[in-house]
Amino acid sequence: MSLRAALSDRREEFDAHFALAEALQDRMMLDSTLGPVSLSVRHINTIKSGLLVHLYNIVEAIMSEALSAVGSALGSSDPRQWTEHSLREWLREAIVARTTDGNEDGRLATVFQMSTLLLTPSISGPQALKKPSGTWDDKAIAKCIERLNVSFWMPADIWTRIASDPGYGDKTPLQFLALRRNAIAHGRRSFEDGASDQSLPAIRKLADVVLDYMEYVAKAFEEHVANQAHIVAAI
């Protein structure tokens, strides 16, 4: 499945989740019940936190799949033909990340074992690539794109929509999402309080910005692999 197809599926799942939240809020406003449960603001706030976590998980999933797609492309090509950017990112995970601990001989053995693979016509199987440190937001995604030298284009209106916004505490929409998700996931905010300051229309607006942006990210990584931009063009 392509990255954009995967994103489309996940977007449909989110839309279904959001529709449920709207339906429950409508029933609450009518002072309705759901079986033995009398719906309240507490229930809606819990659902809203779930929406933010769900939205962030889409970003994380698509970026994980994007790195996996590039790693698979590297694993099926001759490492002697990798671009400088591809080689650097392979080294970052295959060697740098694995030689921080242990004694000198152990680190040398790791470097020797992995570096000899670069002399072979192919490296067996998909290769792991290291994500930038921290949580996925537009800054981390931009760093990943820069490291792999992925060609990236977006129309001006998308750049405007993902810019820092006073409504998000002068953070970008994706930074706000990542920070809020972390607060919920790590217990700094309860599920009841995690999105209590966000209305459903505000969450819908945030989701549309994030998912529209991710469409261009998915497209860029798809084309990077399809165009074999991870290897040096034959002369």
Query: How far apart (Å, rounded) are the C-alpha atoms in residues 140 and 32?
Result: 44
Distances in Å between the Cα of 18 and the Cα atoms of 1, 54, 61 are 24, 10, 19
Query: How far apart (Å, rounded) are the C-alpha atoms in residues 134 and 157?
Result: 27
C-beta separation of 49 from 191 below 8 A:
yes
Asked if the model's pLDDT at residue 215 lies above 80, the reply is: yes
C-beta separation of 56 from 181 below 8 A:
yes
Position 101 scores a pLDDT of 67
Asked if the model's pLDDT at residue 110 lies above 90, the reply is: no
Per-chain mean pLDDT for the chain: 90
C-beta separation of 77 from 122 below 8 A:
yes
Q: Which candidate, 74, 82, 122, 87, places its Cα nearest to that of 232? A: 82
Note the helical H segments in 76-116: 84-94, 104-116
Position 73 scores a pLDDT of 95
In which residue are the tokens 């261009």 written?
A: 216
Look up the pTM and report it.
Answer: 0.91
Asked if the model's pLDDT at residue 122 lies above 60, the reply is: yes
Give the pLDDT band (50/70/90) at residue 38: confident
Asked if the model's pLDDT at residue 235 lies above 60, the reply is: no
Asked if the model's pLDDT at residue 231 lies above 70, the reply is: yes
Contacts of 184 (CB under 8 A, 6+ apart): 49, 52, 53, 190, 191, 194, 195
